[in-house]
Amino acid sequence: MFDFEMLFMIGLKVLFALLMIGAVMTMAGYSVLAERKVSAWMQGRVGPNRTVLPLVGYVPFAGKFLKGMGMFQPLADGLKFLFKEEIIPGHVNKFYYNLAPIVALVPALTTMTVLPFGEFFADNGESFPLMLANLEVGILFILAVSSLGVYGIVLAGWSSNSKYPFLGGIRSSAQMISYELAMGLSLLPIFLWVSEPGTGAMGLSLVDIVDSQKQSPWLLLVQPLSALIFLIALFAETNRLPFDMPESETDLVGGFHTEYGGFKFGIFFVAEYAHIVVGSAIFTIVFLGGWHFMPWMSDPWPATWIGSLIGVGWFLAKTIFLIFFFIWIRWTLPRFRYDQVMNLGWTKLLPLALINLIFYVCLVTWLDQPPA
């Protein structure tokens, strides 16, 4: 019959997964707020500062501060999306039109199963990474699943049966295919560097990468070019502003979600920001030392549950800084033209990534020579 212990384990995992989804979705919601606030500050505006829950506004100091920072705005936005009328235009392919937002959101939320976000210190001094599933090929899993995210956009563009979403969908798939390659190639030198013979690290585990940056320089300082290529490809993969071809509002109205409204548009919106959150977390893990303190320094916090909490907090702080960086870039740089995006991807970034890879292959081979 059924294996009840296994069912219990599955139930526990589902619970953890739901918690994680809650955390990432909250971060995605507040990234939207951060986007609005930071853009407002950069443009000499105030940003959302009026939404407040009943009674909270009367709390002497904190209430006014929370209201001024727009802390309840994501709640109001979410409710607005929920209560809006669900319009399905007559000219769409209904099945795929309804399927597309789900297909866009699921990969964004699936990638976080293999994201380590801290370490737990057991009583006997051992440490375990805090994550849902410790996969030996974690980074490949993330690349694979996030590459499925393009289906949501392509299907939305196609099923809308209208020209602007269609162009958005076509652009998006072309862009994602172009930059996935550079992204993967920029990560290879990292793994070459980390899994040197003699160390325990092998394979493509994200935990090993973080641990290799303990008390040693961050990989950002070791391989700045890889980090740069990865960051550029990350901007392209998350459809952020210098590369937001699929939804560039000046030439495509709204891009792939032109025909969407209400909650389905909200799902696209949240999926986009969930991508940014997960992307920032990956960059933190791979290049910024994850939950370890500073380059060349050992963690100043004790190896207890307090230490692991501070570690998670430090990891979150780095991730939030990267989210801020995403927003910062968006409100600084203008958008590339479509042909410029393709040109940059194929004729600049890809050869650069290849040269970078070959350089580090030679370097690692030279460094790993057994002493004669």
List binders of another protein among 70-99 (CB under 8 A).
96
Cβ-based nearer residue to another protein, 29 or 149: 149
CB of 348 to another protein, least distance (A): 9
Residue of 259, 264, 266, 240 whose CA lies nearest to 77: 266
Query: By C-beta, is 175 or 308 nearer to another protein?
Result: 175
List residues bridging with 129 in a β-sheet.
Answer: 119
3-state secondary structure of 238: coil
- What is the Rg, in whole angstroms, of the alpha carbon atoms belonging to the chain? 22
Stretch touching another protein by CB under 8 A, among 130-138, 210-218, 281-289, 354-362: 130-138
Q: Binding another protein by CB under 8 A: which of 32, 170, 274, 288? A: 170
> To which residue do tokens 């699936």 refer?
110
Grouping H, G, I as helix, E, B as strand and the rest as coil, residue 55 is coil
Taking the complex as a whole, how short is the minimal distance between the CB of residue 153 and another protein, in angstroms? 10
**In the complex, least distance from residue 65 CB atom to another protein, rounded to whole angstroms:** 16
Count of CA atoms in the C-beta half-sphere (13 A) of 226 = 26
Residue of the chain from 180, 237, 244, 247 that contacts another protein (CB under 8 A): 180
362 binds another protein (CB under 8 A): no
Please identify which residue in 17, 331, 346, 364 interacts with another protein, judged by CB under 8 A: 331
Which of 17, 69, 174, 316 touches another protein by CB under 8 A?
A: 174
Non-local CB neighbours of 155 within 8 Å, separated by 6+ positions: 96, 99, 100, 103, 169
**Beta bridge mates, 31:** none
Sequence-ordered alpha helix ranges (H) in the chain: 4-42, 62-68, 73-83, 94-110, 138-159, 163-194, 206-212, 219-222, 224-237, 249-252, 262-287, 305-330, 338-343, 350-367
Cβ burial, residue 277 (10 Å; 0-12/13-18/19+): buried
Residue closer to another protein (CB basis): 51 or 147: 147
At its nearest, how many Å lie between another protein and the CB of residue 132?
A: 14
The smaller minimum CB distance to another protein, of residues 108 and 310, is found at 108
Task: Candidates 56, 76, 140, 316: give the one binding another protein (CB under 8 A).
Answer: 140
231 vs 267, which CB is nearer to another protein? 231
Closer CB to another protein, 298 or 340, in the complex: 340
Site string for another protein, 17-46 (x = CB under 8 A): ---------------------x--xxxxxx
Please state, in angstroms and rounded to a whole number, the distance separating the CA atoms of residues 60 and 209: 46
Q: Which position among 333, 358, 361, 362 is part of the footprint of another protein (CB under 8 A)?
A: 333
Indicate which single residue of 6, 55, 122, 372 sits in contact with another protein (rule: CB under 8 A).
Answer: 6
Q: Taking a C-beta distance cutoff of 8 angstroms, is the pair 158, 166 a contact?
A: yes
Q: How far is the CB of 370 from another protein (least distance, A)?
A: 16
Centre a 10 Å sphere on the Cβ of residue 148 and count the other Cβ atoms it contains: 15
Q: Does 51 bind another protein (CB under 8 A)?
A: no
> Which lies closer to another protein via its Cβ, residue 303 or residue 354?
354
Is 193 a residue that touches another protein (CB under 8 A)? no
* Minimum distance from residue 334 beta carbon to another protein (Å): 9
Angle at 158 between CA 157 and CA 159, to 5 degrees: 100
Angstrom distance (rounded) from CA 24 to CA 278 = 8
Binding status of residue 204 toward another protein by CB under 8 A: yes
Q: Report the C-alpha dihedral over residues 35, 329, 326, 324, rounded to 10 degrees.
A: -60
Of 328, 342, 346, 354, the one binding another protein by CB under 8 A: 328
CA 26 – CA 34 distance, rounded (Å) = 12
Among 329, 342, 363, 364, binds another protein (CB under 8 A): 329
Binding site for another protein (CB under 8 A): 2-3, 6-7, 10, 38, 41-46, 96, 135-137, 140-141, 143-145, 147-148, 150-151, 154, 157-158, 166, 169-170, 173-174, 176-177, 180, 202-204, 328-329, 331-333
